[in-house]
Amino acid sequence: MILISKLKNKVYYVVFILLISILFMLFVIDYKFNNLESRLETTIKFMDKMEAIEKKNEERKKALDLNSKAPILELLDENGSLVTLESLSNSNALLVFSEIDCPYCINSITKVNEIVKNNPDLKVYYINYNSEPEKNKVYKNKHKLKASVLSGTDMTFERYKIQSTPTFILLSKDNIILQIGGEIDNIDFSLLSKKL
């Protein structure tokens, strides 16, 4: 009898240990599955985000279409006044997308000043990437720039698909893109007289 009782206790003990082991394994499997599911969700979200960034970059690489309307423009000048695309209407305009520390942009200032001097009906705007009006005022005075200087935003550089600075965009009086170029010497200002 004692032997049977001991065997029963051992069997119960073994069954108990097996049940605990099974429960523990189920818990671990469930935890790992949930953790794996969470990781998978995070990975999918990351991949979706990267795909959206890639699409955005691909779209940005495409140049603006010539003879199309210029994208929205709403920026502050060096005095804090708002300049919009509509305010450029009825005047030809040259937009110079630049950065404060860009040596090529700074080197183009002399030629841009000549253009401003020789074309009084042409509005010329330097659009400095991620700069503030006060910094633009200092920049304008330091380099004796005769053009207005606007505070460019990420969105503006995105809309205009700017990939490098300087980038020059020539606009007609009705804000149609006539020419896009990376060097001021390659901009054909005779296009303005053809558009009049």
Q: What is the mean pLDDT of residues 161-171?
A: 94
pLDDT surpasses 60 at 6: no
The model's pLDDT over 126-138, given as tens digits with 9 standing for 90+, comes to: 999 999 999 999 9
Q: Which stretches within 62-108 are classed as H helix?
A: 85-88, 103-107
Task: Name the pTM for this structure.
Answer: 0.70
Q: What is the mean pLDDT of residues 164-170?
A: 95
Give the pLDDT confidence score for residue 196 in this predicted structure: 43
Where in the chain are the domains?
A: 1-62, 74-195
Q: What is 74-195's CATH number? A: 3.40.30.10
In the chain, what percentage of residues exceed pLDDT 90? 55
Q: What is the mean pLDDT of residues 151-157?
A: 93
Give the pLDDT confidence score for residue 60 in this predicted structure: 65
Top pLDDT among 43 and 35 is at 43
CA-CA distance, 74 to 59, in Å (whole number)?
21
Nearest to 145 by CA among 81, 85, 82, 96: 96
The model's pLDDT over 45-81, given as tens digits with 9 standing for 90+, comes to: 888 888 887 887 777 667 788 999 999 999 999 999 9
Burial of residue 126, with CB atoms counted within 10 A of its CB: 0-12 exposed, 13-18 middle, 19 or more buried: buried
The model's pLDDT over 74-101, given as tens digits with 9 standing for 90+, comes to: 999 999 999 999 998 889 999 999 999 9
Give the pLDDT confidence score for residue 21 in this predicted structure: 80
The CA-CA-CA angle for residues 96, 93, 181, to 5°, reads 45
